Structure formats: structure tokens, C-alpha cells
Structure 1
Amino acid sequence: MSATVADEGVRAVSRGGTAREFMARSGLVTRGVLYVLTGLLAVRVGLGTSGGREADRQGALQELAGKPLGPFLVWAVGIGLVCMMLWRLSEAVFGAAGPKGDAATKRLASAARAVFYAVGAYSVLSFAAGSGGTRSSDEQSQDVTAKVLGWPGGQWLVGAVGAALVIGGVVIAVRAVQRKFRKHMNLGGLSPQGRRAVEVLGVAGGVARGTVFAAAGGFAVHAAVRYDPAKAKGLDDTLRTLTQTPAGPWLLVAVAIGLMLFGVFSWAMARWREV
């Protein structure tokens, strides 16, 4: 009797691990699709060939929706983000894979990521259902900022969120340069050239992603200081602002290519990340 119960427990754990792995890898593939499409749209913005389409998640969804089997693909992206959210939620509840996966800080970070992907999944599924989710990231960012600024202490809250984004962006970039992602990857079966290729994707993609996060956070801080929600910028406006630097549109193109590389790195993670 006890052996039977033990066997059932082993099978339950195995099923749970399999489900978690499926959710993680499906979510990472979906994230890769969104980053590749967003980066491609940003390249078009930098080259002046975007056709008015915005370089953010909504622009990526519109790009997908216009393809053969477009509605199916959009629904698949929404479901993929739900998988990503459930994976991060499972890490918050049961702990993450790897060293110190049960640490309170890692659980809290996973919970925050779960909320982030839940919001993204809701937006994509609303778009797929035709019941909303058509506003750009810029409009959403300014609307949310305006609402929060109207709360008691809202100016401080917007500033704190912006500062957290800046710090988070810097941390993402620095950890990418330090190749911290290697401890989560099982690349033993790859050739030295293959491992170097994955590392190049992780470093270049992580630096580009961190740069965008930090820039968006800086605009949020500016909005809080000026008490002006119009100063807040979503992903599209943040990327377009890069064209106003001395490097001109070429900085935007470089960052956009980096975002595309991060998308490809997400696909590599879907294959080789330990979850």
C-alpha cells in the first residue's frame, strides 16, 4: 500500500515537472516571437519604412494578424503568454530551478514577472477577441501614469516605478555582459562555436533589452518630476526617441537588432534553459 502511494507521488511530481517545463518552453518561444517582431518593426522605423506601424507589442500583433492564419497566431501568442505567467507563478509558489531557487528574493521576482506576463496576456487575448487591447504602448503608458499621478502620493509612486525600471534595466544589461544566464543553461551538448553563438545572443540581446527598460524608466521619472503624464513613454516612443541622439536612426537600428537577437536568444532558452 505504501509503495503504491509513493509511486503515485512520484508520478504526480513527474507530471507537475512536465507541465511546468511545457509552460516554460512555450512561454519562452512566445516571448521570442514578440521580441523578434518588435525588433523588426523598430528597424523599419529607423529606416523610415514602418508604414506607420508602431514598434511595440500591439504593432507586433497587428503584423501577425495580417499574415495567413493570423487570428490563430495571435491566439497562440496570448496562450503562450499565459503559459509564461503560469511558469513564473509556479516559481513564486514552489521555487525556481537552479541554485538558491527557493530564496525569498527569487520568489518575489518570479511573482512580479507573473504579474507582468498576466497583464501582457490579457492585452493580447483582448486583441485576439476583438474586445480591446488595440491601444499602443504609448497610450497605455500615458493613461496609467495620468491615473496614478491623481492618487495621493501618486507622484512618488510613478517616480519609484520609473527608478525601479532604470535600476532593473541596468541590472539586466550588466548581468547580460557578465553572462549570468549561463548558470541557467544546459549547453553541454553544444559545440564550442554553438555555445559562443548562444552567449553572443544573450549578451547583445540582454544589453539591448536593458537599455530599453532603463530608458523607459527614465521617462517615467521625468513624468513624475514634471507631474506630466505626457512625458511618460511606452516602448514605441522610447525607441523612437533614440533617433534624436547624435547617432541618429542608427542607434535605434542597433538597439532594434539587439531586441531581435534577444528574441532568438529566448528561443535558445526554450531549448536549453533548465526549468
Structure 2
Amino acid sequence: MASSHIQKNHGRLGGNHLTQEETVSAAGRAGFVARGVVYVLIGVLAIRIAFGAGGGEADREGALAEVAGKPFGIAVLWALAVGFGCMAVWRGIAAVRGRGRDGKVTARIMNGGRAVFYASVCWGTAAFATGDRGSGGDAKSRDWTRTALQLPYGQQLVGAGGCVLIGVGVGIAVRAAMRRFLRRLDLSSTPTGTRHVVTALGVGGGVARGMVGAAAGIFVLVAAIRFDPQQAKGVDATLRSFAGTPAGPWLLVAVAIGLMLFGAFSFASARWRRM
């Protein structure tokens, strides 16, 4: 009787643990879906800009505005806010109880930073849904740079921040080109064609995402060198700068398609990510 009672309790505890793991995994997958929606919309807006079709700012705020203007847009915004909140929770849990690769100190710190980032994105999306649109990403970047430059050693601080952004952007692009993301996906049971498609999405999308991040870092570094916060650019202005290169709007189109690929890769991550 006692042995049977212990087995029942063990089974109940095991079931509860499994339910908790499934809940955490579902939270992470919801976050990847939300991220995918925003990146696809940013890419669409950037393509419109490249062809002179307008479409608002090609950044997160522009993507949210695009959603808000559609039927049931506010409901979708709240769903995105929930998704980003889930991503913040999932990253936070990974930072606290990291296992495997996520158990390393650097991985825990990075997951903690991502948790804070997605918590702020969740808050911003919820505020957007309530009608508090605030200023655009470009204005925020200039404001933050101006405030930082006014601090003691502000010029060095902003310069270091620009270098960090450049390094992160280059790192994202290099890891994508090396297909490092495949380590975190479980594609063992998928057809060969599906694996090839997901790999292409990850490489193309990651390289484009890294390019945008590195370019934004360059503008922040220039702002520090010139002590001019107007040189700092958000995602929208950074994307528009690609159209001003010798390649013309076609480089912007290529980057925009890459961001859409990263959005699609986020959807694939929601399906096949090892949680």
C-alpha cells in the first residue's frame, strides 16, 4: 500500500513537472510567433519605402501601426503583447535555471538581457494598443544618444555602445552564415526539403538582421565621434540609409527580403526550436 501510494505521488509530481515544461515551451513558441509577425511587417514596409510607396516607418512602431490599422487590429496588438510577454518569461526562466548550453554564465547573462528587452517590447506593444503611440524609433534613438552624450564620459560611453552594436550585428551575421542556429532546432524528423528551406531562412534572415544591427551601430559610433546625436539612427532610418548606397534601392530591397526571411525563420523556430 505504501509503495503504491509513493508511486502515485511520484506520477503526480512527474505529471505536474511535465505540465510546467509544456507551459514554458508554449510561452517561448508564442514569443517566436510574435517576433515573426513584426519582422515580416518591417520587411514589407521597407520594400514599400524602396519603391517609393510610402507605408510609414519601417521599424517596430511602424509594424504595430500597420497592424492597428487593420480589422481587429487592436486585438492582434494585444495578442502580440502577450506573445512578447511570453518570450520575456521564457528567456527569464532560461537565465535562472539554464541547462546545457544555456547553463553557461555568458548564456545566462544573454538570456537575462533578452528577457529585459522583450519585457520592454511587451510593455511598448501594450501601450501602443491602448493608444499611447509615443515617438518613433528614430526619435528615441536620437533622444537616448543625446542624453548619454550629456553624461560624464558620455562620448566614450556612446562610442562603446556603438562598438557593441557593431560587434553584436557582425556576430549575428557570422553565426547565421555558419548555420549555428541549426544546433537549437530539432529537424531530425523533417523531410530534407524542409530542412533546406529552414536553413535558407535562417541564413538569409540572420545575415540581414545582423547587417541592420551593425549599420545602426556604425551610426551610433559616428554620433559619438562627432558629438552629434542627430547622427544616431533607429531601424527605420538605418534601413533607409541602404537606399542611399551606390546599389540604390535594390540593397534596401535585399535587406527587406532578408528581414522577411527572418520573420519566417521565427515561425519555423516556433515549430522546431528545442525548448
Which TM-score applies when normalising by structure 2?
Answer: 0.95
SS in 1 for 2:102: coil
Which string of whole-angstrom CA distances, capped at 9 and with x for unpartnered residues, describes residues 142-179 of structure 1? 11111121122222222222111100111110110110
The reply on whether 1:76 has 2:79 as its aligned counterpart is: yes
Distance in 2 (CA, whole Å) between partners of 1:102 and 1:138 is: 36
Whether the 8 Å contact between 1:166 and 1:217 is mirrored in structure 2 is yes
What SS does structure 1 have at the residue aligned with 2:40? helix
Q: RMSD of the alignment, in Å? A: 1.3
Percentage of matched positions with identical amino acids? 47
- 1:196-207 counterparts in 2 under 5 A? 196-207=196-207
Q: Distance in 1 between matches of 2:160 and 2:12?
A: 48
Q: CA deviation at 1:12?
A: 3.2
| CA radius of gyration, larger in | 2
| Range with bigger deviation, 170-179 or 157-166 | 157-166
User: How many residues are treated as equivalent by the alignment?
Assistant: 271
- Pairwise CA distance, 1:55: 0.3
Distance 2:9 2:106 in 1: 34
In the TM superposition, residue 8 of structure 1 has moved relative to its aligned partner by: 4.2
Q: CA deviation at 1:50?
A: 1.8
Aligned to 1:113: 114
The separation in 2 between residues aligned to 1:266 and 1:124, in whole angstroms, is 18
Rounded Cα–Cα distance in structure 2 between residues aligned with 1:174 and 1:77: 29
Contact 2:51 2:249 in 1 (8 A): yes
Residues 272 and 154 of structure 1: is their aligned pair in 2 closer, same or farther, counting only changes over 3 Å?
same
1:101 match: secondary structure = helix
Q: 2:170 corresponds to which residue?
A: 170
Instruction: Give the superposition deviation at 1:15.
Output: 2.2
CA contact (8 A) 1:26 1:84 kept: yes
Deviations, residues 125-147 of structure 1 (Å, cap 9, x unaligned): 111112x2432110111111111
Partner of 1:17: 21
Deviation (angstroms), 1:5: 4.8
Quote the offset at 1:11 in angstroms.
Answer: 2.8
- CA-CA distance at 1:101 after TM superposition: 2.2
